[in-house]
Amino acid sequence: MPQTNEPIAEVISSSITGVVAQCLMSQDKDRMPETLKPRFGSFLRIRTGGNVDVLSIVHNVITGSPDSIHQPWALGLSREQLREEQPHIFSLLRTEVHAVVVGYIDRGEVYQHLPPIPPEVHDFVYPASHEEIRKVTLGFDFLRLVATVTTVPQDELAAASIREAYKANGEEYSFLVEAGQALSHIFKNDFDRLVTILRKIRPISSLRS
């Protein structure tokens, strides 16, 4: 997701360990409803009204009806046809982002553990900056918090978050080496799982060689 100073979502449920946020709707170049969805494994910053901002990682993105009355159904139309014939349909959908908390920022300092307080409902959510991602992933302690997620495959989430952090670190191969070393300690008793994650974080260039 591109860096932006505009919020992409708003918190609708929160705890010390995780948040649920509703994606904000905007308009595309044709003035049609559009929802900017964060990537699986990407890093978010939740700006609160106090000194502590919360950093989290996306582990699920769910789009559906906001209530039990306006349920979507298959219409057999392409997205372009839907935009032309029934554009209101997109306004009836809600996208929720589920994210696990992996750190926080207090007076400019980044910490890789759970925050002292959770975000408030209606706090705004932004993509984390590359600098924030680099700081919260330094040392890879964040992977232990990622491993607490049980609603999606943990291997996929760990690999996705490392790939996102790899981009924020300028795609330096040394970052992946350090990530592999950290994973070897975390999953030292589960070799098969370790190998699976390592395969998923290999850069594309190495897969082609």
pLDDT in the model for residue 206: 47
52 or 205: whose pLDDT is higher? 52
Please write the tens of the pLDDT for every residue from 130-179.
999 999 999 999 999 999 999 999 999 999 999 999 999 999 999 999 99
Q: Which two tokens stand for residue 181?
A: 């070393």
Determine whether 66 is exposed, middle or buried from the number of CB atoms within 10 Å of its CB (0-12, 13-18, 19+).
exposed
Cβ-count burial 137-176 (b if 16+ within 10 Å, e if not): beebbbbebbeebeeeebbebbbbbbbbbbebbeeeeebb
pLDDT in the model for residue 159: 96
Please write the tens of the pLDDT for every residue from 168-178.
999 999 999 99
Q: List helix spans (H) across the chain.
A: 79-85, 130-137, 142-146, 154-168, 173-186, 191-200, 204-208
Please write the tens of the pLDDT for every residue from 28-87.
665 566 788 999 999 999 999 888 999 999 999 998 877 666 677 677 777 777 777 776
pTM: 0.86
209 confidence band (pLDDT: 50, 70, 90): very low
Alpha-carbon span 132 to 56, nearest angstrom: 11
Q: Rounded mean pLDDT of the chain? A: 87
3 confidence band (pLDDT: 50, 70, 90): low
Place of tokens 């943990």: 154
pLDDT in the model for residue 64: 83
Please write the tens of the pLDDT for every residue from 114-125.
999 999 999 999
Percent above pLDDT 90 for the chain: 67
